Amino acid sequence: MIDRWFSMIKLPLTFDQFRRLPRNASYKYEYGDGETWISPRPKQYHAMLELGPAVELTPLRVDSEPVRVRALQDADWDQLPRLFASAFSRVQPFASLDETDALKAAHHCLDQTRDGGDGPVIAPACFVAEMEGEDPIIGAILVTNMPEVDLTDFHELRWREPPPPDWLERRMGRPHLTWIFTHHIYAGYGVGTGLLAASANALVGLGYEQLASTFLLGNESSMLWHWRNGFELLAYPASHRRLRERYGPLDDAPA
């Protein structure tokens, strides 16, 4: 769904200028006849966190200011788009959008999540972090429920049919960390890690044992955050190794 916010970029450059362009793993760079074509090629990777026993939450602070983690409330959704746009303003595809389109993209992504487009929202596992002030929310974690499929293979990650009303009581599906974000000026203070700990405790209390997540290749800060917090990177379904395991020699793979 986020792929729709990537755009093609066409630039008149010399070959030397093209050669010195910074690269982003979400794009393909091509040159010909004095023009550079930068085409979106986003790749999503999955990771898995094994949930252990509930842990005692560590008090959070930003410098000398305490940060409170609490359950997400319906009224909080109105504050989240601007926070979302700020949090992702320096990573693709949002870094290439102007302020208006970035806010529109934020609304689109969050509306899809809230409306169940990413699977039912696991409300008890969604939290926000807040400080005192006019705009107190500085971070949020949104967890949805996806089918329990093999993430190292090609599977639809959304429910083909809506799960039954008692899906949460029956612990159906697998929790998925759909969004976690903090305002960019509060990055690096441990707010995201604190939100994850609160969500993991809630999921353990609901009887779940795993939390899946997804990040884009090229978003190094997200990749490192997942690594530091104990997520295990899963095999990419379209890697040559996985294709050989699935189909044998690549010359024999289906077209």
How much is the pLDDT for 232? Answer: 95
- CATH superfamily for 44-242 is Gcn5-related N-acetyltransferase (GNAT) (3.40.630.30)
CA distance 249 to 5: 35
User: What pLDDT is stored for residue 250 in this prediction?
Assistant: 59
Predicted local distance difference test score (pLDDT) of residue 134: 61
pLDDT of residue 210: 95
What is the C-alpha to C-alpha distance for residues 174 and 171, in angstroms, rounded to an integer? Answer: 8
Q: Where in the chain is the domain with CATH 3.40.630.30?
A: 44-242
Torsion angles phi and psi, residue 212, rounded to 5: -90, 160
Structure tokens at 185: 């000026």
Q: What is the DSSP letter of 7?
A: -
Look at residue 136 in the predicted model and tell me its pLDDT. 85
Are the beta carbons of 67 and 131 closer than 8 angstroms? yes
Are 21 and 191 in contact by the 8 Å Cβ rule? The answer is no
Helices (H), the chain: 15-19, 80-87, 99-114, 191-206, 220-228, 240-247
Task: Say how far apart CA 216 and CA 211 lie, in whole Å.
Answer: 17
- pTM strictly above 0.85: yes
Q: Omega into 93 within 30° of 0, i.e. cis?
A: yes
Q: What is the pLDDT of residue 184?
A: 87
Residue 239 has a pLDDT of: 72
Q: Is 193 left (phi over 0), alpha (psi -120 to 50) or beta?
A: alpha
Structure tokens at 243: 């294709």
Per-residue pLDDT of the chain (255 residues; tens, 9 = 90+): 566 778 888 999 999 999 999 888 888 999 998 899 999 888 889 999 999 998 888 888 888 888 999 999 999 999 999 999 999 988 888 888 889 999 999 999 999 999 999 999 999 999 999 987 766 899 999 999 999 988 888 777 888 888 999 999 999 999 999 999 998 888 888 999 999 999 999 999 999 999 999 998 888 889 999 999 999 999 887 777 766 776 777 565 554
Residue pair 28/12 in contact (Cβ under 8 Å)? The answer is no
Residues near 143 by beta carbon (within 8 Å), at least 6 away in sequence:
121, 122, 125, 126, 175, 176, 177, 178, 199, 203, 211
